[in-house]
Amino acid sequence: MNYDEKKNKLLEQLSKATGINFQISDSDLSDEETINKLKEMVVRFNVLDSKSSFYRAFLTRELSYSDAAAYIHRFHIDENAIRMLFYLESQTDYSKEAVSLLKSLLPDSQDALIQIDSKHIAVIVHFSKIPSSEEIEQYCNEFLDMLESEAFMSFKVSYDLPINKFTDLPNSYKDIVLAMHIGNIFRGTDHIYSYNTLGLGRLLFNIPIDEVETYLNNHINMDLLSGIDVETLNLLDAFFDNDLSLAETSRKMFIHRNTLIYRLDKFADLTGYDVRKFSDAITVKLSLMLYNYIRATK
């Protein structure tokens, strides 16, 4: 987010808090000093009268740690507790029922649900000891299953590693928001994203766009990729997910082995790449991921 975007966002927050529209016409302060001064004004005029509003301001860095001290004491927050952040994204605006259902899964008084916007919710869950990866997956599935079966809403969830320092919360929040974004680009059919297991996606996400376009043009150009039908793309994803196994892919996709071979042969004729060969499979997998990255940036 650049200076103008940060400034306008803070001015909007200040207007909401005071009922007065502000603008900056002349200032001797640097851009950084101006942003910091606006943050101080937002904190001063905002009344953080609930734990969730406090957490929202702290997670999004609208409230610095030094300014948070009074609220930490007021809400009896244990700064050294083991906690995890989960970030939920709904496909449509979520309902009040969805919020109520999520709250029912948070029995600990230290836990918190933070409504970020109409499609995103952050959940802070406390643990007595560091949870295993299986326990974390179980939490994610409980969130998604309940929302699907009782609120009839489809969500995705991302998470980061557990933390035991309150000051690590903003960084953890930044990571899980990024994990959701990267997961949606490179693993869009999944519903659970872990920031620490998005290795290849995180690597590709940091490649400059012009380098991505150069790679694609040297291998499978974007016009060719845009013409591939969804059924073929799903078939390729399944083939890669099943370690290039014809038998396992045909079983999982409920198609005959010969039909699968026929479709892979058609893809090879179209692109020049036979994904049954390991080197070709790597090229196609990377090309498809980078193509999704390009589409997401436009």
- Whether residue 201 is contained in a domain is answered as no
Q: 23 with 111, same domain?
A: no
Lowest pLDDT segment from 21-30, 60-69, 78-87, 101-110? 21-30
Q: Which of 19, 43, 70 is the last residue of a domain?
A: 70
Q: 168 with 110, same domain?
A: yes
Lowest pLDDT segment from 7-21, 56-70, 202-216? 7-21
With cut-offs at 50, 70 and 90, classify the pLDDT of residue 109.
confident
Q: 27 with 114, same domain?
A: no
- Whether residue 227 is contained in a domain is answered as yes
Q: 17 with 65, same domain?
A: yes
| Confidence check: pLDDT of 254 > 60 | yes
- Give the number of domains in the chain: 3
- Whether residue 198 is contained in a domain is answered as no
| Confidence check: pLDDT of 43 > 70 | no
Q: Which of 70, 101, 126 is the last residue of a domain?
A: 70
Q: 85 with 62, same domain?
A: no
Q: Which of 161, 190, 219 is the last residue of a domain?
A: 190
Q: 143 with 220, same domain?
A: no
Q: 49 with 148, same domain?
A: no
With cut-offs at 50, 70 and 90, classify the pLDDT of residue 16.
low
pLDDT of residue 17: 61
- Whether residue 19 is contained in a domain is answered as yes
- Whether residue 202 is contained in a domain is answered as no
| Confidence check: pLDDT of 75 > 70 | yes
Is residue 143 within 8 A of residue 123, CB to CB? The reply is yes
Domain span including residue 213:
207-296
Report the distance separating Cα 200 and Cα 124, nearest Å: 27
Which of 287, 236, 242, 223 has the alpha carbon at shortest distance from 263?
Answer: 236
- Whether residue 196 is contained in a domain is answered as no
Give the E-state strand segments of the chain in sequence order.
Answer: 82-90, 112-115, 120-127, 155-159, 192-194
Structure tokens at 215: 């790679």
Average pLDDT, whole number, for the chain?
89
Mean pLDDT, rounded, for 22-42: 80
- Condensed to tens digits (0 to 9), the pLDDT of residues 166-222 reads 999 999 999 999 999 999 998 888 899 999 988 888 989 988 989 998 999 889 888
Mean pLDDT, rounded, for 44-48: 58
- Whether residue 23 is contained in a domain is answered as yes
pLDDT of residue 25: 77
